[in-house]
Chains A and B, each alone.
Chain A
C-alpha cells in the first residue's frame, strides 16, 4: 500500500510505503511501545524524578517517529525521522537527570555524527541518481554501480546507521546510555531504537540496492555478514565480563544486532527471513530483559547479579520470566530465538558461509555462559535468609513480564506460520 502526500506523483512527491515487511514490524513495535508505557504505570515513575508529562510527550514523539522510519518511502524523510527519534531518545535518557545526563550527552555526540554521515551518503546518492525516492532510485542504481560516488554513499550510510544501531566498532555509547537511563525508558530504547536503524539499513540494501550487489568486486552482503559475525561474538564476550544486570543485557543486545546482520547478509530468502524473524524475537526479548531489570530494581532493589541471588527464590515472577527469556536468548527449542537462529544457520549453510555458522554458534555458547553465570548466582548461592523488602508486585509489572514471556513462547510455537507469512509477504523484490 502506498500513500502519496498531497497528490504529487511519486518521483516528485513524498510517499509512505506500507508493504508486508513494514506492516509486520510496525505491528510488533506498536505493541511493544504500548507495553513500555503500561510498564511505567502507577508505581515505577519514582525513577523518572516526577517528570511524568515530559515522559509521556517524549514517548509519543518517539513511537510516532519510529513509525515514520518504518514507513518512509524516500531516503531524506528517513533521515528526518531518524533524527526526530534520536532527539527524543536523548531527551528520554536524560529526563530524570543524574548520571544519565552525561550518557545522554555522549549518545548525542555519536548519534548526531552518525546522522550526519548518513545525510552525507544520501547526498552522494542524490548527486549521482538525481532522485531520493527509494523505488525510483532502485531503477537507476543498476546502471551506476561502478560509480565511486555510489560506493562512497553506501559506505557513509553504513557507517552512519552502524553508529545508530550500535554495531561493534561503534557501540561505545550504548551500554552506558541504556544502563543509566531510567528503568521505565530503557525497555523501549533497547527493543525499538537500535532495531529501527537496522531496519532502515535492511530497507536500503535490499530495496534500493539489489540483493546480489557486487560493487567493484566488493561483495557488499558478504561484508555485512562478516561484520555481523564479529559483532555477535564480541558483544557476547563483553557481556560475559559484566556484573551489572542492565550492562549484561545491553551487551547481549549488541551481540544480537550482529546475529541479525549475519542472517540478513546471507543474500538468500532463508537467511533474510531468519534475520527478520530473529529481529522480531530480539525486540521482544530485549523489552522483556529490561522490564525484568526494571522490576528487579524498582520492586526488589536489585542492581547486580550478586544481589540477584538474594532475591531469586522469593521472586517467582522475576525468576520465572528470567528463565523463559534465558531460553530465548540462548536459543533453546520451544522459544522463538531458536527458530530465528535455526533459519539463519540454514541460510548460511545454503550460501556456504561456514564462518557465519561458526560465529552464530560461538555467540550462542557465550550467551549460554553469561546466563549460566546469572543462574548460578541465583540458585547456587548459599541462602542468606535476608528478607527482601517487597509487597505485592504491581499489576503493570506482572502484565508486562507475563505478556513478553508469553510472546517469546508464542513466537516459537507458531514460528512456522510466521515464517511462511514473512516468506510470502515480506521478501524484497530481488530475492
Chain B
C-alpha cells in the first residue's frame, strides 16, 4: 500500500490527470445547470489533453530542429513534436464541441427560459 502510494507520488502528472478527469466527471454527474455540465465536460477533455502532453515531456530536450548537421543525431535531446500537434488538434475539436454545446444551451434557454435540468424536465412532461 505504501509502496503503491510512493509509486503514484513519483508520477505527479498522472495523478494530476486522474484528479482532473474525475473532478470533471463528478461535475458532469452532480450538477443540474447545463452550462456547469459543459464546464465539467471541458475539464474531462482538458485532462486527456494534459495526459497526452505529459507523456511526451522530456527533460533537457530542445525543439525538433537539428542543431548540427555534422554530429550524429541524439534522439534523447529532441522533443517529439507529434503529441503536441495531436494536442493542438484535440484542443480545436474540444473548442468546437464546447461551442456547439453552448449554442445548444442558448437555444434551450430561449425556448424554456431556464438552464436548470430539473425545471426543463418539468416543462417537458
The answer on a CB contact under 8 Å between A104 and B55 is no
A116 contact set on B, CB distance < 8 A: 44-45, 48
A94 contact set on B, CB distance < 8 A: 104, 107
Contact mask A99-130 → B, CB, 8 Å, 1/0?
A: 10110110011001101100110010011000
- Known contacts A101-B107, A102-B124; decide if A123 and B48 are in contact (CB<8 Å): yes
Interface stretch among B2-10, B65-73, B82-90? B82-90
The answer on a CB contact under 8 Å between A101 and B55 is no
Q: How many residues of A contact B (CB 8 A)?
A: 28
Is B120 in contact with chain A by the CB < 8 A criterion? yes
A105 contact set on B, CB distance < 8 A: 34, 101, 104-105, 108
Is A83 in contact with chain B by the CB < 8 A criterion? yes
A-B contact count (CB 8 A): 75
- Known contacts A80-B89, A105-B34, A120-B51; decide if A112 and B107 are in contact (CB<8 Å): no
Is B22 in contact with chain A by the CB < 8 A criterion? no
Is B15 in contact with chain A by the CB < 8 A criterion? no
B124 contact set on A, CB distance < 8 A: 99, 102
B86 contact set on A, CB distance < 8 A: 76, 123, 126, 132
B108 contact set on A, CB distance < 8 A: 101-102, 105
Is A98 in contact with chain B by the CB < 8 A criterion? yes
The answer on a CB contact under 8 Å between B97 and A123 is no
A97 contact set on B, CB distance < 8 A: 107, 111
Q: Report the separation of the CA atoms of residues A104 and B108 in the bound assembly, to the nearest whole angstrom.
A: 10
Chain B: minimal CB distance from A419 (Å): 38
Chain B: minimal CB distance from A80 (Å): 6
Most chain B CB within a 10 A radius of its CB, from A87, A99, A102, A126: A102
A residues near B, CB below 8 A? Answer: 76, 79-80, 83, 86-87, 90-91, 94, 97-99, 101-102, 104-105, 108-109, 112-113, 115-116, 119-120, 123, 126-127, 132
B residues near A, CB below 8 A? Answer: 25, 28, 34, 37-38, 41, 44-45, 48, 51-52, 55, 82-83, 86, 89-90, 93, 96-97, 100-101, 104-105, 107-108, 111, 120, 124
